[in-house]
Structure 1
């Protein structure tokens, strides 16, 4: 009876999220770097070329991307929308309303917060997780069996080097992490300045304390 009670307590102490989770596949590490602006720019271009036909990042505007990544408004519109949108527009899919449901049988998700929801390792592993089945002559993804999303980096996997293929997946993951929380770039830039200010404040405070107590005998 005591053993049963002990096991019950142990089960209840396990977080519900862990008990509910099923077996998971190992993820590859994206090793992306939000401070790598060249990677973010490549990721933005790849996202526009490979993903924007179906997916939006509706919480981002072109001019915000331009300001953060070092483009002009004209450049970001040309690079990401091929001159079809304005800099003040949200980054929306070019797929007309209702087409996704008719063609794929489902709505295409907005990817604004995908990196925050799934993590960049998941996005990187998903982009690299496509496997070709010779019997069905089709692609499937080991992380999401039966996915209707095509292998958008198929041409790179077939015709580029492994390094280029991996870098493309990493750049897209990097860009989607940025899109999920663009203020993180400013926070990181501000963080070291705050730490430097606090360090200088500690030094000044210590010197001031010594000056106040210099003539006081203990």
Structure 2
């Protein structure tokens, strides 16, 4: 029992530490990995707004295409704009050295960001940009002083709030998928394994009763 509780604590620790570290209430992302339309929109939004700086170096275009219901030609057209091959990793369009020169820091790869921080953190971070009228600069309530600009500034200023929230949710959904592409399959398999173990337990218990019923204790 102690080992099970310890394992659960290790699983929840990244999410607990994120909230505690920043002293903020994370907003619920309310994403759905089964929503392929959302994942497709998120992939396109990521390409348009995030790939100028960020990479997904552990993902290939053809893997995303297969999971999201696109052909290889479609994903190259929608995400790479003809500048990559289906077998290529999803890499930033930023030239080497530009990040340090312009932003003063290295830009993190986002392949595992959802696994590290959780989708609620990503969703809250993307919505956490606030404009300071005094300094005439953007800052982020989740990560003060971040070098990352408000990539969805135009959407936030001009589009309806529902559209802005949905765009953020779609990007978050896509990054959650990228962090563990096999997540839905793993969860489905997990329930099947638990059902098998439950049935096996019942059979084992009945066999035990049958074998021991004539034995006096």
TM over 0.5: yes
TM bucket (normalised to shorter chain) is 0.7 to 0.9
CA distance in structure 2 between the aligned counterparts of 1:181 and 1:110, rounded to whole angstroms: 15
Partner of 2:34: 35
Structure 2: gaps of 5 or more residues: 1-12, 211-217
- RMSD value over aligned CA atoms? 2.6
How far has the Cα of 1:84 moved from its partner? 0.4
Q: Does the 8 Å CA contact 2:22/2:142 hold for their aligned counterparts?
A: no
Q: Deviations over 1:18-65 (max 9, x none)?
A: 7xx556111111011111111111110110000011000100000000
List structure 1 runs of 4+ shifted beyond 3 angstroms: 188-203
SS for the counterpart of 1:67 is helix
CA distance in structure 1 between the aligned counterparts of 2:22 and 2:151, rounded to whole angstroms: 27
Partner of 1:110: 109
The TM-score with structure 1 as length reference comes to 0.79
Partner of 1:74: 73
SS for the counterpart of 1:131 is strand
CA distance in structure 2 between the aligned counterparts of 1:143 and 1:125, rounded to whole angstroms: 7
SS for the counterpart of 2:53 is coil
Does the C-alpha gap of structure 1 residues 89 and 143 become closer, same or farther in structure 2, counting only changes over 3 Å? same
SS for the counterpart of 2:125 is helix
Does the C-alpha gap of structure 1 residues 84 and 183 become closer, same or farther in structure 2, counting only changes over 3 Å? same
Q: Deviations over 1:72-106 (max 9, x none)?
A: 00111111111100000000000011000011110
Bigger CA radius of gyration: 1
